[in-house]
Each structure stands twice: as structure tokens, then as C-alpha cells.
Amino acid sequence: MAGLVGRRDKHAAQSVRGSRIAAAIAVGILLGGTFAFLYPHGFFFSNHASQFQGRRLAKSILQIGETTCETSERVNMLKSDLADLSTKNDELKKQVRDLTQKVMAAEQKNGKSEQEVVVVGEQQKAGPFGTVKGIRTNPVVLPDETVNPRLLKILKKVAVKNELIVVLANSNVKAMLEVWFASIKKVGIPNHLVVALDNGIVDFCKENDVPFYTRDPDEDIDSVAKTGGNHAVSGLKFRILREFLQLGYSVLLSDVDIVYLQNPFDHIYRDSDVESMSDGHDNMTAYGYNDVSDDPSMGWARYAHTMRIWVYNSGFFYLRPTLPAIELLDRVADRLSHPPPAWDQAVFNEELFFPSYPGYVGLHASKRTMDRYMFMNSKTLFTQVRKDDNLKKLKPVIVHLNYHPDKLPRMKAVMEFYVNGKQDALEPFPDGSDW
């Protein structure tokens, strides 16, 4: 029993000594770590290091003084570098745009590539029922001033708030152009420009102080521009207008057979890529309606519902400088430049309205139909308005003589009726044409 107790005491003493040794080792490690942290270069080296750091601090203070003198020069250098980077950034953005257009063209050509969905802006949760509104207005393109510096110089003088009326004309339509300009001048619309397609129109513009622009020589275009009729010249506008949009300007394209009675820029919404007048002659045809087709051979399913709308008029429309608007111009110009021959207004509407389907990628452009009484076609005027005492009191923004071949005398009659107050000026003309 005594031996057992002795062994226990001895074992306890050894445990105490082991604990003390372990504690001593732990304290030593802790102190060593502390000194290593506080004196990384050694305990005896610390004083020298402090002196060395003091000298570095003094030197830094001197350098700060010298740097203060150089601040202005460095700021100028940084500004110069920033300008260079901005220029390079613009060039890269242009390259990206060009490559994007090429990719889109390739996809549209084969009709087989999967289309990527581009989301504009940040993702957001849908709000409560009835409060959700989709994106209606596409962003404008970054202006590319290198496209046509000569045209840009003219636009900066003529345009108001980066928008203007543009009309194409050759000597074949000079008489109508004179009435067109007379109405513009009477209303007092400053931001208008004539794209002169031959020397006769250049002379007219110079004599009457009309802002004009002549394109650089282009054999393919000039042959049509100088000798072509209304439809041929009308097809050129889709190629010519592209540069206006690239330069960042909104364009209200106008045919020459139009009489202006108010400033159209006071009546444009600017919420769509394309805003156009309609060839419709009532609310249904102008704004769209549900048309039911009947096929008796189908029995119970004989009735099929269709959606119809009269075409947009390709002789009067407003384009914002957006990618969809430019793509529309490219598509129409490309189709008109290849056989079979086509009417520009038909192609314009097909590209604007046809949806995507297998083998074809439709145009994703927003569109708005103009008020049919404010932007009035000649069918509406001669078949309805002139026969209604209340409608006759309305003053439209424009009247487009698009439905009638005897354009010039009817244009003059419109001026007499709305501008000079001659109440019977429209009476001699039939509703339609003689042929």
C-alpha cells in the first residue's frame, strides 16, 4: 500500500514538472513571436532602422515640395492622355458597331443562326398588375462625325435641336418644290434642307435662299437622281438618309407633293424609331382593325380573324437616329438595289411590319402612326374633309397629295383654301383621278 502511494506521488511530481516545462515553452514561443513582430530586423537593428526611416521621411517631404511644383505639368499631361484614350475608345466603339452590323447582316442572310436577346438596362422586377410598361424608346446612336464632315457642317447650321425636314428633288419636280418651299416659308419652319440632285435645283435653292446639300458624285446613284421619276428618286432616300442618322440627327423625310400648314415638330411624339403618316382613310384603316375572313368550305371553322392596317406612307415619316431606324434604311435600300424591281413604299412596309419567322429575322423597330387628320393624305381631304362643315374647320399640319396624279394644281388649291381662305378652292376637283 505504501509503495502504491509513493508511485502516485512520483507520478504527480512528474506531471507538475511537465506542465511547467510546457508552460515555459509556450511563454517562450509567445515572446519570440511578439519580438519578431515588433522588431522584424532584429532587436539591436531597430535603432538603426528607425534612423533610416527618419531619413526616408525627410527625403519624402522634400520630394513632396518638388512634386508640388510639377503638379500643373502633370495635370496637363494626364488631360492629354485622357483625350487620347477617349479618342481610342471612340474608335473601338465604332469598330464594335461595324462588327455588330456585319454579324447581324450575316445572321439575317442565312436565317439559321440563333439570335441573342439584348436587354437594355438593368434587370428589374415586374410591378403590380396594370403598372408594367415595356421599353418604348431605343437609345440614339453615338454620333460618328467622320462619316460626312461636309454634311455635318451644314446640319449644325440648319438643324434645330438636332432635327430637320429633308426633301430630295431634281428638276422634274421643280414646280412642286416651289409650292413646297412657299408653304414652308409661310409657316416659318427654319430647319429644312433640300438634297439637290441636279444643277437646276441647286440654282433654284441659291436664287431663293433655300438651304441645300449636294452629295458627293456617285455614278450608280446620280444616273437615277438626275433623270428618274418620282418613284425612282423616292427609292434613293433610304441610302441618302443613312448619313444623317449616323451623324446623330433625327430626320423628317418629306416628298415634294406636300403642303405645310403648321410646324410638324410641334406635333411629333418622338417615342418611336419610326413615326409615319398613314395611307388610311378612316380610323380603322389608319390605326388597324380585326378583319374576318370567310371560307365556307371549312364548315364550323369557316371564319378566320386577321389583323389589317393600311400602309405607312414612305413619302412622309420621322426617323430617330437609332440602330433599328438605320437597319430599316439598310434593309430597304438593299432590296431596292437588287432585282426584281419593287416599289419603295411596299418594301418599306414589309420590312417594318413583317415578323420573324423560320428563315427570316424581322426588324425590331418601334413605330407610331401619326394623327390622320393632322397629317392628312389627299384621299381623306377630298373624299371626306372638304364635304364636312366641321372637319373643314380643322387646320392640318400637312396635306400630302399622294392619292392624286394631278399634284401641282391640287397643291395650289390646298394653299388657296387653308392659307388664303378661299372656301371653294377645292370644289373643282373630283374625289379621285380621271384615270
pLDDT at residue 402, as a whole number: 97
On whether the CB atoms of residues 170 and 255 are closer than 8 A, the answer is no
Of all residues in the chain, what percent carry a pLDDT higher than 70?
74
CA atoms within 13 A on the CB side of 431: 6
Q: Where are the alpha helices (DSSP H) in 39-118?
A: 46-110
Q: Which residues pair with 164 in a beta bridge?
A: 251
**Which has the closest alpha carbon to 201: 237, 233, 177?**
177
**pLDDT tens across 368-390, in order?**
999 999 999 999 999 999 999 99
- Give me the long-range contacts of 131-136 (CB less than 8 A, separation at least 24): 136/271, 136/272, 136/366
The confidence score (pLDDT) of residue 254 equals 98
DSSP character string of 259-313:
EE-S-GGGS----SSEEEEE--SSHHHHH-EEEEEE-GGGGGG-EEEEEE-PPEE
Q: What is the C-alpha separation between 44 and 336, in angstroms, rounded?
A: 90
Cis peptide before 340 (omega within 30 of 0): yes
The amino acid at 234: S
C-alpha grid cell, residue 176: 412642286
Q: Give the model confidence (pLDDT) of 321-347 as tens digits.
A: 999 999 999 999 999 999 999 999 999
Instruction: Answer yes or no: are the C-beta atoms of 167 and 180 closer than 8 Å.
Output: yes
- The Cα–Cα gap between 257 and 254 comes to 8
Q: What is the CATH number of domain 149-370?
A: 3.90.550
* CA nearest to 202, candidates 213, 189, 217: 213
Residues 6+ apart with CB under 8 A from 346: 311
Across 168-177, 234-243, 278-287, 349-358, least confident range: 234-243
Rounded Cα–Cα distance for residues 202 and 166 (Å): 15
Report residue 385: phi and psi, to 5°: -60, -45
pTM metric for this prediction:
0.72
